[in-house]
Structure 1
């Protein structure tokens, strides 16, 4: 079987799509059979054919920035999106343009900046922005019950905006959360109450931006911070005396990983590639160039640089294992499909749209205080 590095080395642009209205492309999700869902900075969700990138539908309904999109695992015709407007909405992709099939809410003061759906499709969890200058909440719903029954909240584990919640890909009760308070928490929801459910707290020593599960049995956790720090922890060592840290750097930009001896300007995110058993980390240059890197206990290693695609910051990516394709989206409003031996139908790199549009993107200043703060007492 051809190795991952060889596949990545063959990537080139096969398709390029850009919405008529200039907008940042923020998050992307894959329905393996046919579709891509993309959240946009104008509060809409676009549906694209995953092979042609042709837009096949749009959903409107959110009144605030969208914090993510996720397809149901067992009912792939359902798509979920979360928003700072205080709702998580479920959409029927068989009815493009229709109203939300279901709307999940909690307290009116809650504004969501992250959400995820468990691998069993039974639980939704959303993370809120900071409320009342000291509290933030993990909110849980049972999606199987009519009206999206609110199950309750965890309120003691984070004290600032919860930037991501991420369910384990195989364990329906395992949940990781990250926050601008610097903490990354891991929960076993089967234990019920928050204090008993909290298994581990890892400190990123900065404002934690995103997390993803990785490793052969998904026992590792990757954390990327807002100031481009990178931390890889092995949660399989929780019950041992061995250190949790596999690799850590406070600033990945300082690492020499590129062919020219320089480093990346920013990190886009990470993804565990199950088939290849590799942790892929994507970084970029402000010019739009993308750098695909492998991350392990030795740090970051450059696998491939992708040029002549994007013209500004890339905000999201995903790897389609079945199609052996990479999808990227960014602040130039472009959605790109990279495939081995791809030949772009529409020749010519698109010009940057950043200067011609007043894009509505919520931006929070990265807080530089209180990152060592301990978990609040129960």
Structure 2
């Protein structure tokens, strides 16, 4: 690390390189924070978490008990040991609360005054953060597995929704109505994700083993059907046979630049795709345990070089090199299966939650002889 600082001081390296080195070093040193606790509010498992990007201060969580919690991640106590308090809770006592398990929560990308939740009770609710009352409620005929708002959209305000129905629903926040349906999947849609690079591009994953990439401006909709074998068949033929996995596909995540898409399936495999061409990059992550029959939330680091992907793996969180497939480490601390994890890019921290009802914070820690070892690891990875 001293070498990078000296090179920066001498003008041999640009500031971005030093920033990436430091971000990478912090990710490689992630450990369970013994000094930071999270208020335990959920009586059952935690299915989903989301950190707002405006201030990086507030986190949402949704649980199998139908409860939604807003946490303040800042330390106001001034002490090394502190608890992140739950500042608001939509519990069972609220007449507006979801009746069944909350599967996805997400902050509105441009304002912390609003967030969206979806549930097994066949509804998706748009909440006013101040009043903790739904400003809009979308009702569906089937169980809702996943929803997502585009993090960059300026020309539309669509929420993509995946349900037990094979049709992908597009709901408009402005009009409060369902305005479009994307047809192509033949089983329930378990995960949906907008591209962080192009606001009209959407990826969807289904129990039919397929991952489809859509341009919602086109009448035909579907641009690509991802094929794990990179077959050279005609588009008409490949649409029917291409599969991304050999089981249910229940996890989707774009890299922060939108150039790559990571998918996870119940065939215990994770795959990295070129999001523009749909090509399987053939990165081998080995066996990635996945027994979930619903959406699984995993995440990718930001600001690092190389990038890392954090994936729930049993009661641990597995950390892989995104482009190498190398298992870097296993983060162990939960007492039961982990269902979701979220990366905090402002501090290179990770939050994970699962069926034990706990939300754990993983933070960069450097102590004593570990500094030299981790600096050597950063240097080795940077040279790859």
Pairwise CA RMSD of aligned residues? 2.5
Structure 1 length-normalised TM? 0.74
Deviations 1:194-230 (A, max 9, x none): xx22100111222111111127x41221110023211
Which of 202, 215, 221 does residue 197 from structure 1 map onto? 221
1:69 and 2:69 equivalent?
Answer: no
Which of 27, 35, 60 does residue 8 from structure 1 map onto? 27
5 Å matches for 1:1-378?
Answer: 1=18, 2-12=21-31, 13=33, 14-20=35-41, 22-32=43-53, 33=55, 34-51=57-74, 52-60=83-91, 61-95=97-131, 98-106=132-140, 109-119=141-151, 120=153, 122-130=157-165, 136-145=166-175, 148-154=176-182, 156-191=183-218, 193=219, 196-202=220-226, 203=243, 204-214=245-255, 217-237=257-277, 244-247=279-282, 252-253=287-288, 269-283=297-311, 286=314, 288-296=315-323, 298=324, 300-307=325-332, 309-341=333-365
Structure 2 distance, partners of 1:340, 1:249, is 27
Alpha-carbon shift at residue 99 of structure 1 (Å): 2.2
**Contact conserved, 1:4 with 1:276, CA < 8 A, in 2?**
yes
Instruction: Classify 1:172/1:285 alpha carbon distance in 2 versus 1 (closer, same or farther; 3 Å).
Output: closer
**Contact conserved, 2:215 with 2:223, CA < 8 A, in 1?**
yes
**Contact conserved, 1:269 with 1:281, CA < 8 A, in 2?**
no
Alpha-carbon shift at residue 278 of structure 1 (Å): 4.3
**Contact conserved, 2:266 with 2:291, CA < 8 A, in 1?**
no
Alpha-carbon shift at residue 3 of structure 1 (Å): 3.9
Alpha-carbon shift at residue 270 of structure 1 (Å): 3.9
Question: For this pair of structures, how many residues does the alignment match?
Answer: 308
Instruction: Classify 1:164/1:73 alpha carbon distance in 2 versus 1 (closer, same or farther; 3 Å).
Output: same
**Contact conserved, 1:16 with 1:334, CA < 8 A, in 2?**
no
The aligned counterpart of 2:80 is: none
Alpha-carbon shift at residue 285 of structure 1 (Å): 5.6
Gaps of 5+ in 2: 1-17, 75-82, 92-96, 227-242, 368-384
Structure 2 distance, partners of 1:289, 1:18, is 21
Structure 1 distance, partners of 2:212, 2:117, is 23
Instruction: Classify 1:207/1:279 alpha carbon distance in 2 versus 1 (closer, same or farther; 3 Å).
Output: farther
Give the 3-state SS of the residue equivalent to 1:7 in structure 2.
helix
Deviations 1:31-64 (A, max 9, x none): 1322100010101111111235211111242122
Alpha-carbon shift at residue 323 of structure 1 (Å): 2.3
The aligned counterpart of 2:379 is: none
Give the 3-state SS of the residue equivalent to 2:326 in structure 1.
strand
Structure 1 distance, partners of 2:284, 2:188, is 23
Instruction: Give 1 or 2 for the bigger CA radius of gyration.
Output: 2
Structure 2 length-normalised TM? 0.73
Give the 3-state SS of the residue equivalent to 2:196 in structure 1.
coil
**Contact conserved, 2:205 with 2:250, CA < 8 A, in 1?**
yes
Alpha-carbon shift at residue 91 of structure 1 (Å): 1.4
Structure 1 distance, partners of 2:38, 2:199, is 35
- Which structure's relative contact order is higher, taking Cα pairs within 8 Å and 6+ residues apart? 1
Structure 2 distance, partners of 1:250, 1:290, is 14
Alpha-carbon shift at residue 8 of structure 1 (Å): 2.4
Instruction: Classify 1:277/1:270 alpha carbon distance in 2 versus 1 (closer, same or farther; 3 Å).
Output: farther
Give the 3-state SS of the residue equivalent to 1:182 in structure 2.
coil
Structure 1 distance, partners of 2:223, 2:281, is 18
